[in-house]
Amino acid sequence: MFEVLQQKQQYQTYVLTDASTDSRLEVVPERGGIITRWRVRGREILYLDAERFARPEMSVRGGIPILFPICGNLPDNTYTHQGEQYTLKQHGFARDLPWEVTKSEAKDDSASLTLILRSNEQTRAVYPFDFQLEFTYEFKGNWLGIWQRFVNHSSAPMPFSVGLHPYFLVSDKTDLKFEIPATQFQNQITKETHTFSGNFDFEQEELDLAFRPISAQKATVKGDSQQLQLTWSSNYYGTLVFWTIKGKDYYCLEPWTAPRNALNTGTDLIYIEPRDEVQTWVNLVITST
């Protein structure tokens, strides 16, 4: 049995539940439309820094933040468009702004929640386009679909990249086995490129690695008596980022449509023509091993 409930915590929280499997998904629209919790068969899948989350002036570290209209950071947080320079902070603004819930639905086999983010004076000051983003979270216990729709209401083509930044809870990172569809990665700290052997050095203080090009639309992580399978649509997603910090009980495996600084370099940018739209998706599945 699936339900969609609302709870007034610090923020209004939408709770999608699957009673038959003791699974639930929690979404906070006013904090960037973020998924804050995903529990599968009684087990927490996501990490969340509750102290940072409780402080609106701080970026969220945990859950599944939405990255738009950039992924990563820009040099000096600036980019140039049509000869004008703009300032845009790391990962863009979608993860910080309130989203509007437009639909919630509980069916016999799933529950879903649809949210939208529209451009406004605040976004146009740093990103000179009129847009509408629509994200639908579809939940079926151990399966999570994130359906994405982007509409350009501007009179000129709109460039952007989009990504997800999921924080997965883990008790022992050294127990994890990764299958990533790439043969190399760039260390985002040193800017050096290395061959990928399938293992990570978790003794480093921070790992920030960008895998590209990717040769398939699936990555898996095994360990902690479970398997995560991450899949994405082939039409836009072309970068996979792995990030973690030593001593923290999480790792991030992030699908991005473009690498860092794409608004300046143009690499893999998505362009939507005026009055047009694009759609894409990312799915996550958790299974026991």
In which element (H, E) is residue 123 found?
helix 121-124
Stated pTM of the model: 0.97
pLDDT at residue 235, rounded to an integer: 87
pLDDT at 199 over 90: no
- Over range 85-106, report the average pLDDT: 97
Q: How many of the other CB atoms lie within 10 Å of CB of 249?
A: 13
What percentage of the chain reaches a pLDDT higher than 70? 100
What's the CATH fold of domain 2-288? Answer: Beta-galactosidase; Chain A, domain 5 (2.70.98)
* DSSP letters spanning 12-42: EEEEEEEGGGTEEEEEEGGGTTEEEEEEETT
Q: What is the pLDDT of residues 4-57, one digit of tens each?
A: 999 998 899 999 999 999 999 999 999 999 999 999 999 999 999 999 998 888
Q: What is the pLDDT of residues 145-186, one digit of tens each?
A: 999 999 999 999 999 999 999 999 999 999 999 999 999 999
Q: Is the dihedral of CA 38, 285, 110, 239 positive or negative?
A: positive
Residue with tokens 């923020």: 11
Residue with tokens 């709870």: 7
- Over range 75-100, report the average pLDDT: 96
Across the chain, mean pLDDT equals 96
pLDDT at 217 over 90: yes
Q: In this predicted structure, which of 52-66, 112-126, 157-171, 231-245 has the lowest mean pLDDT?
A: 52-66
pLDDT at 220 over 90: yes
3-class DSSP state of 58: coil
